[in-house]
Structure 1
């Protein structure tokens, strides 16, 4: 954001700090962020209003707006359109639309994918599905009609609603579905709101910069009079302030460069303590990097989550996994030559073709096979898993149907130490491991070394900046783009030695909401395998 204002006030106390500006002073609005969100119940509910912090870990559904939009331009101006799923609003028209050779019936769901300029005309690229076939078409912003928002079934965090679904100075009706995380006090404070309908209205904080380089914040509910003079002002009078996302949007040719930190990150992890206000850094390049999502398995403390670089230089040893169903055993067997488990739950089949299991039975998982059984006079084929167990010194075949829930704990005979890349190559995630050799090249201490058992869950790809401190140019590490709030001032192009890969490891510890978000974005593209029915279909036949 880059707009200049002429300040018409004189003296305020802001957040406990006295700030004095004279009439006529120039200020530049550099950022608008949410300070809090006011929630009020609808007219049928008598519960009092509440205030949600911007990082509130609730999950919401959105209630469709009842008021119509009278043009495509009104939709685009009201809602954010972007590449993420949240930025693709869905609407329907009260009348038929005729676009080229496509006829779109009334009340047909229309998805707006993007806003583009086509042949000099601002337009939206839309998609509609008819009889299982997707059709793309273009509508100019000037297209008039009566459009209504479709009911959205997606689950949103508060931040997603504020960023994508609430235009500035507007409200949004939502329903709080659940509260994630381990904060008992937060769940207690807001429990009365769960499954209740409410109206959200954000209160914004405007971050501004004076022409002399000073920062201060103005709340959107503060009575301050300013005059927008962006078109008449020379913005070069102000220092150019960038955040991590602004830097990531720079072209490749603009790297490397030297930048000064004007405002450090709020996170207090060791890796970020060195990023203090006034520190100069070298930004070598931007890139996409792979990470492994990992969680510490402990029942006595809140679960911790990590993003581990695939170049982590420590070593791991495998630890036993728990498989809740026979189906999970079959998935794991596809990745391993030998898989041994001990049964933690008994299984007593109703068909003689299947084997019984007792707690403590040790099995070697062999292979998947189809088994023909007789049920109610009809032959039926059932998917099963062939295993072997030792009884009286002899190997005995064990046949278990995939639908059996059971419960199995892996027996790990493997004492080998693996690198992270070897684990990802040779085994199927999720995988339980323990750090056996710490990484000596981390920023600060290796925070994984003191964990108990880590569950390596899945691999994701994320955006990073490759940086180093100006006074330690060879300690190069990866800075996440979307999980840190840092303000920079670009100083000059860097002409020294440039690195293309990190020399230090940055292991990120992420909170519950960040964990939920990175897994959610990844799972939107990479869906889990289908789960088997708890009861086979043939047993449901009457």
Structure 2
């Protein structure tokens, strides 16, 4: 045990800050005897007499408030919003020098402060009465003279003066209460204020003076233990600072992946041990992640920054997949036309690539009052620009509504004409290009029109085109054992990024490397002195995996970082039912005018009259008669005259056809054979003479053929 003064852990930790760390402490005594275990937040902490603790970080958690009168204690969070005021010391000071030197807060950092004297004092023909408040402004240090304090005196009728009081002046001096108010965070940030007593500004809560003590979370490592300990500084343990005596003691130093990046190049390659593995819910779905666990080993070859892109498979029957791919990927890609489900998506793509051409893949019906045009499958359009268009129907206030829309040109398909007329046709097509407005809120199904059939490397696609971009792998990366990208019909490049990475491998396969993105994976490692798993000076030829599959959570987190301020697509304007009806009536006015006066003589449906029954039967349209069959001879077939009986004419019955018997005609005729009987219980409709004449003419035509 070192021959130094032992202090409670709480007191010693309160005297430290992160700038003086690390510190090595040795356990002297306390409630934790040899082999005792104390459980804190689910982790076991064991302190024995003589144990060495290396403090590597402290974090302020809360403040312990101790009532001086009854020794009661309670805790307050560091972000407590209540205010505190300093409680002045009750003990009088015999000299000014004693008052200045014994002030626990320190004079230089806590000026000004106010005190009074119980007796009258005179300085250079200036008399200060008993009980007069004196505010210390500064300390005057004069060469060859006694040090003095420069004080401000507030007299009667707002008169004020300054007086210089020597430090050796005798009397009974009492400190006055200050008007300043402090928060807990302000008190804990000042070592001078932490040693004073305080009282709540709101005296109804606690009127008695309190001693405020900070409680820290201590991050430490112990000798011969690999994991990081986290415990509060309020543990009742006495420790001693042995930092200078234990400089040569070897502690296992846990490092995060971010701290590994700051290591010099000479530190690599090296064998590291995993002290704390990655989280169980990881952002990666790669093959090497399940093999990384606590107490396992890795080989860190080098650190650096890798250019990567994020790829996603298109939504379909299978689950959508996401890949983080290095731009050193050796496969070749070919562009694929992008699909769009709204005009707004077309607009976003046209901002990055002006002059975008697209084709319609599903018919769209025209909605005039909303400004939606009719589109047919196969139509090709080219985006000109985005501007505002006025809707045909105005709002309820009578003002016309204007919305943002894409101005597009319909592209005419090339006709199969003579080669001599090609130039004239092209000029004619340019003159006859039809302009059309597509509101941004319009839904539809469109596909990009591409004429590019070139093969690209992954790094070239990011230079020549804007992202996102749809591609397909046409030649796989031959350096990879299995290329997971080659089996997809279409992939979308979502974005590009620069990622700090660590090139690593497992000791049993040192030549098969992979890249660990340090910003997306959290684990703790420690450098070991184990030898490298290959002969000295003969490193193997490395094969680096360029494709890492990630989860949808990774994709959403990436999108959150890049598109947090992206504006949502526009909403369609609110429909005005009155204006919509007027627009529909205006568009159908020509159709109504062509119908004549038929609409004026519509019968009342509530009164079932004979005219309504006749109109109902006459308005039923029958299919036209089939065309006559082809006649081989030039002579027409003989015509057999039809004889009408008197009963047929008087009763209005239609007799069945005796020349050709057809089931359909029998059924139609039988419906009309029943006479209207007034005395009958059944309500049959009466057939008029016009209907009988029409049916007779149809039967004669059947006999003709």
Tell whether 2:442 aligns with 1:425: no
Where do 5+ consecutive residues of structure 1 fail to align? 34-63, 72-143, 150-203
Q: Work out which of the residue numbers 560, 567, 574 in structure 2 matches 1:520.
A: 560
Offset of 1:430 from its aligned partner?
Answer: 2.0
Give a deviation string over 1:315-369, Cα, whole Å, max 9, x none.
Answer: 33444433233243244345276633224462535489x7723363432324226
The residue number in structure 2 matching 1:242 is 255
CA distances 1:26-79 after superposition (whole Å, capped 9, x unpaired): 35567999xxxxxxxxxxxxxxxxxxxxxxxxxxxxxx96715789xxxxxxxx
What is the match of residue 150 of structure 2? none
Task: Name the residue aligned to 2:223.
Answer: 211
Q: 1:405 to 1:398 in 2, by over 3 A?
A: same
Q: CA deviation at 1:380?
A: 7.6
* More displaced stretch, 374-383 vs 474-483: 374-383
* Distance in 2 (alpha carbons) for counterparts of 1:343 and 1:243: 52
Partner of 1:456: 493
Mark the CA change 1:18 to 1:463 in structure 2 (over 3 Å): closer, same or farther. closer
SS, match of residue 407 in structure 1: strand
Task: Answer whether contact 2:252 2:526 (CA < 8 A) is retained.
Answer: no
Aligned 1:170-249 pairs, distance under 5 A: 209-212=221-224, 214-215=225-226, 229=240, 232=243, 234=246, 236-249=249-262
TM-score normalised according to structure 2 size: 0.42
TM-score of the superposed pair, with normalisation by structure 1: 0.52
Q: Contact (CA 8 Å) 1:4, 1:228: kept in 2 or not?
A: no
Shift in CA distance, 448/12, structure 1 to aligned 2, threshold 3 Å: farther
Deviation, structure 1 residue 485: 1.1
Q: How does 1:63-462 map to 2 (within 5 A)?
A: 67=81, 209-212=221-224, 214-215=225-226, 229=240, 232=243, 234=246, 236-250=249-263, 252=264, 255-263=267-275, 265-266=277-278, 269-272=286-289, 277=295, 279=297, 281-285=299-303, 287-298=304-315, 300=317, 303-333=320-350, 334-335=352-353, 339-344=357-362, 346=364, 348=366, 350=368, 356-358=373-375, 360-368=377-385, 384-389=406-411, 397-411=434-448, 416-442=454-480, 445-450=482-487, 453-462=490-499
Q: 1:5 to 1:509 in 2, by over 3 A?
A: farther
CA offsets 1:284-310 (integer angstroms, 9 cap, x no match): 23x333322233333556544332222
In the superposition, relative to structure 1, how do residues 2 and 523 fare at CA in structure 2: closer, same or farther (>3 Å)?
Answer: farther
SS of aligned partner of 2:288? helix
For residues 24 and 345 of structure 1, what CA distance do their matches in structure 2 show?
Answer: 83
How far apart in 2 are the matches of 1:316 and 1:492?
43
Asked if the contact 2:359–2:380 (Cα under 8 Å) also holds between the matched residues in 1, the reply is yes
Give the RMSD, CA atoms, in angstroms.
Answer: 5.4
Show structure 2 runs of 5+ residues with no match: 1-20, 60-77, 86-179, 186-215, 417-428, 580-705
Q: Which has the larger radius of gyration?
A: 2
Classify the secondary structure of the residue corresponding to 1:432: strand
Distance 1:145 1:341 in 2: 71
Aligned pairs, how many?
374
Shift of 1:479: 2.2
- Alpha-carbon spacing, 1:336–1:407, altered in 2? closer, same or farther (3 Å): same
* Counterparts of 1:492 and 1:421, CA distance in 2: 38
User: Measured at CA, do residues 279 and 390 of structure 1 come closer, stay the same or move farther in structure 2, by a change above 3 Å?
Assistant: same
Give 1 or 2: higher strand fraction.
Answer: 1
| CA offsets 1:472-523 (integer angstroms, 9 cap, x no match) | 7765553211214141215499996999x98523433333443333333334
SS at match of 2:273: strand
2 CA distance for matches of 1:472 and 1:323? 45
Higher-RCO chain (CA-CA 8 Å, sequence separation at least 6) = 1
CA contact (8 A) 2:354 2:383 kept: no
2-structure distance, mates of 1:522, 1:369: 24
Secondary structure at the residue paired with 2:346? helix
Provide the rounded CA distance (Å) in 1 between the counterparts of 2:571 and 2:270: 59
Structure 1 residue 399: deviation in Å? Answer: 1.0
SS of residue paired to 1:270: coil
- Secondary structure in structure 2 of the residue aligned to 1:439: coil
Query: Which digits, 9 at most, give the CA deviation of each residue in 1:362-421, with x for residues without a partner?
Result: 323242265876977989896533132558969762512343422233156655543322
- Asked if the contact 1:6–1:226 (Cα under 8 Å) also holds between the matched residues in 2, the reply is no
Q: Aligned with 1:423: secondary structure?
A: helix
Verify the 8 A CA contact 2:26 2:242 in the aligned structure 1.
no
SS in 1 for 2:461: helix
Shift of 1:471: 7.8
Aligned to 1:26: 52
SS at match of 1:284: strand
